[in-house]
Amino acid sequence: MSLTDDFYHHMNDRCLRLRISEVPSNTIGEQAYCIIGARESYLKALKISQWDGFECSLLESNNKTLIISKLEETHTNLERFLQDISIDETNSHLLFDLLEHEVQHHGQLIRYAYANKIEFPASWNTRYTV
């Protein structure tokens, strides 16, 4: 989650509206909507030990300040929850699903960055050698 947070901190507001040209693509801001919604939805699922559908509280996918706030909020909420529980088999599957989802978005964000000539934050250069 820290890598995702770093990516959105690093870019400027204009980048949120960028797409990958000449292929079906949403925007970088809409990628944040999906990431934030997954964090919120998986936290809800972890609390009740089962998937209960996707919901996202992010209302503006072109507002960097709001995106950063929601990324930090969801990161903190998940960390706090995980400190207070023991992880059973169901929750371990949900956590792996959340991890897989976020990492898949990292791959997508790498493609967005290359396609739009966006520089990566240092943490991404270290983790992914981009």
- Distance CA(55)–CA(62), nearest Å, equals 18
- Distance CA(60)–CA(27), nearest Å, equals 12
Domain enclosing residue 116, as ranges: 2-128
Query: pLDDT band at residue 71, thresholds of 50, 70 and 90?
Result: very high
The predicted model gives 55-72 an average pLDDT of 97
Does 92 have pLDDT greater than 90?
A: yes
State percent of the chain over pLDDT 90: 92
Domain CATH code at residue 79: 1.20.120.450
Half-sphere exposure of 22 (CA within 13 A, CB side): 3
Helices (H), the chain: 2-10, 28-48, 64-83, 89-116, 122-128
Does 86 have pLDDT greater than 90?
A: no
Handedness of CA 109, 111, 113, 115 (dihedral sign): negative
Longest CA–CA span in the chain (Å) reads 46
Number of domains in the chain: 1
Which pTM was predicted?
A: 0.95
- Distance CA(130)–CA(110), nearest Å, equals 8
- Distance CA(98)–CA(43), nearest Å, equals 9
Contact 95, 78 (CB under 8 A): no
